[in-house]
Amino acid sequence: MGPEFKVTPWEVSGDIDYDILVERFGTSHIDESLKDRLAGYGEMHPLLRRNVFYSHRDLPWLLDRYDKGQSFFMYTGRGPSGHTHLGHLMPWIFAKHLQDLFGANIYFQLTDDEKFLFRQDLELSDTRSMAYENALDFLALGFDPEKTRIILDTECIHSLYPLALKVSKKITFSTAKAVFGFDNSTNIGSIFYTSIQAAPCYLESDREGKQVPCLIPCGIDQDPHFRVARDVAPGLGYPKPALIYNKMFPGLEGGDKMSSSNPDATIYTTDKPKTVKRKVGKAFTGGCVSADEQREKGGNPEICAIFKYNYFLFEDDDSKLDELTARCRSGDILCGECKAELSAKINTFLESHQAKREEAREFIDQVSFDGFRW
């Protein structure tokens, strides 16, 4: 066993070693040549340049097909258990970039069923209303309405069910137990659920009656689902979905994953400027106990949550990031100033995001899959 950390679709804990995770899951690294190849379709996205999107399955295969004129579609999703936070937004931001580059259709699955089944404290009415809120955040990122469809599981089940059934017939209980850690006390809805998450992978192949490749940008914690979805695909006559995985977005408390179980270390898209300031103000940094000591010894950006936020989402310019690193290490910039700068950047982003979120209310029904209404 490697270091103690856990990454599953339901739980992420400990100090994640992302290289070991690739080995455990059996995914591949996105190496420099694959990065360059991707950059050849447009600009190199900072999340790719900085290896936040760092692992994949079958990406070169998908690109080979694309180069030969075979288009693909994309699929990603969200389990609506609460408000959207910055960590959720990250893969969607990248997905929007991919849609721009490749002109691909994208399906966004909101698993109100999943969160109802896995969370004792949530009713279907709760997960549905959160799904609506999460969908607004997704749409606020500017996806092309002509090429984007929102799937709400309980509303779109008639389209998903035939596919989910085919998947479920190929997965035994012992596979589900081995992959997801279920036992005899697991409710039977949870055991079936992975077949619902697999279904959209084959949606366009099924509708078009031909093999249409699928690309899924998402957090690497979702890999267990897609391992299963890939295993059953050939037996159903569908191509295996390709994946592009990101690392988890860090929490403000210094942990490896931003998590709603610690709301004070989590920035929600609906947070007010004052709230952002307060949360960022309390963040874990790589600073010293006193200002004097820090001026003398400098800080440590490597362990600093504020630095990670700049690295992941809020400072795209490499030279500015290098300058910040140098100023931190030399003790030239102290944590208070750095926090104030980050709060300002986050609030600028959220102000515009929140406005676009409101606009999305106007067209959300037009982009629902199968034409359901919220």
Distance CA 77, CA 111 (A): 8
Q: Is 266 in the site for ligand TRP (CB under 6 A)?
A: no
Distance CA 357, CA 139 (A): 7
Nearer Cβ to ligand TRP, position 260 or 300? 260
Q: Is 216 in the site for ligand TRP (CB under 6 A)?
A: yes
Nearer Cβ to ligand TRP, position 216 or 333? 216
Distance CA 45, CA 39 (A): 8
Helix (H, G, I), strand (E, B) or coil at 360: helix
Amino acid present at 45: H
Token code pair at residue 49: 């340049």
Helix or strand holding residue 174 (H, E): helix 173-180
Site for ligand TRP in 141-200 (CB under 6 A): 197
Radius of gyration of the chain (CA): 21
Nearer Cβ to ligand TRP, position 171 or 216? 216
Nearer Cβ to ligand TRP, position 245 or 307? 245
Nearer Cβ to ligand TRP, position 12 or 48? 12
The closest alpha carbon to 154, from 104, 206, 189, belongs to 189
Distance CA 243, CA 246 (A): 10
* Whether 188 contacts 180, CB under 8 Å: no
Site for ligand TRP in 66-85 (CB under 6 A): 75-79
Q: Is 204 in the site for ligand TRP (CB under 6 A)?
A: no
Q: Determine the length of the chain.
A: 374
Token code pair at residue 309: 């936020």
Q: Is 9 in the site for ligand TRP (CB under 6 A)?
A: yes
Nearest distance in Å: CB 218, ligand TRP:
3
Residue selected from 218, 248, 328, 335 as contacting ligand TRP according to rule CB under 6 A? 218
Size of the site for ligand TRP (CB under 6 A): 13
Q: Is 222 in the site for ligand TRP (CB under 6 A)?
A: yes
Q: Is 127 in the site for ligand TRP (CB under 6 A)?
A: no
Nearer Cβ to ligand TRP, position 78 or 277? 78
Question: By the criterion CB under 6 A, which residues form the site for ligand TRP?
Answer: 9, 75-79, 109, 111, 114, 197, 216, 218, 222
